[in-house]
Amino acid sequence: MSGADAPTGSKVAAAIRARREAGSGAVIGYLPVGFPDLATSIEAAVTLAENGIDVIELGMPYSDPVMDGPVIQAATQKALAEGFRVRDVFTAVREITSRVDTPVVVMTYWNPVEQYGVQRFADDLAAAGGAGLITPDLIPDEGSVWIAAAEAADLDRVFLAAPSSSEARLRQSVEASRGFVYTVSTMGITGTRTDVDSAAHTLVDRLREAGVEYACVGLGISTATQVREVLAYADGAIIGSAFVRALAEGGLDALAEVAADLSSGATVSR
């Protein structure tokens, strides 16, 4: 279960809880493993942690990223061209968690996990110090194998909720998730937007009614103002394209500056 029912093993829930108790919310930062190369992607994740990001989300490059916008697609395609392999994600997680205490979750489409071996993937991720897995294309009622493997490895399992989700599906996502529920703010692909869709607020309210404790909003957040807007009603703000763009255009220095700016939005009083 997510939220208050989550076992003490949930590193992500602990990070979110600490932010809530401090009167604000968590900022979750996404970067793809292997972009622009493996070593730099590890340094980039450490940079996020050192500049106020509460949870690191590492994206596993995939050849058919149906949910990703153009900025992230370009980065993951470069990582694949550079020779990314699934084992690299465990190397990255191990290196990052040896240097910072920030929880690290992996975001991946389901096919690579299935090909690698579900329990083997869970065990290797846990052994590397990983906190859990976000599975955007795996729905809870088809996720029993993963749920069992994650429980055996004491990993968080993060399922998605969208504005189009039925009440029954929202309840499934709440009950199947541990750590938080990934709340998709808009219908469509990831990428920065001028305004975060107001549907996100309604969706978080629906998740609260379904019993969620921790709902974090992603897709389209790119400014500190938007972070503040989201954290006024949600437990976390998930940022991806803004960080990937900063890394691509200005390297680690630019990424540090953007991370510090966006994490400054997590000062709203609840």
Catalytic residue IDs: 57, 68
Distance from C-alpha of 266 to C-alpha of 231, rounded to nearest angstrom: 7
What is the rounded distance in angstroms from the CA atom of residue 60 to the CA atom of residue 62?
Answer: 6
- In what side-by-side order are the strands of the sheet with 215-218? 156-158, 132-134, 104-107, 55-59, 26-32, 236-239, 215-218, 181-184, 160-161
What are the helix (H) ranges across the chain?
11-21, 38-49, 70-81, 86-99, 110-116, 118-127, 144-153, 167-176, 199-209, 224-231, 241-263
Which pair of structure tokens corresponds to residue 175?
Answer: 């009950």
Q: Which position has the token pair 């692909």? A: 189
Integer Rg of the chain from CA: 17
- Within 13 Å and on the Cβ side, how many CA atoms surround 266? 30
User: Other CB atoms closer than 10 Å to residue 12's CB: what's the count?
Assistant: 29
C-alpha to C-alpha distance for 241 and 269, rounded to whole angstroms: 26
| Closest-CA residue to 185 (of 173, 195, 197, 171) | 197
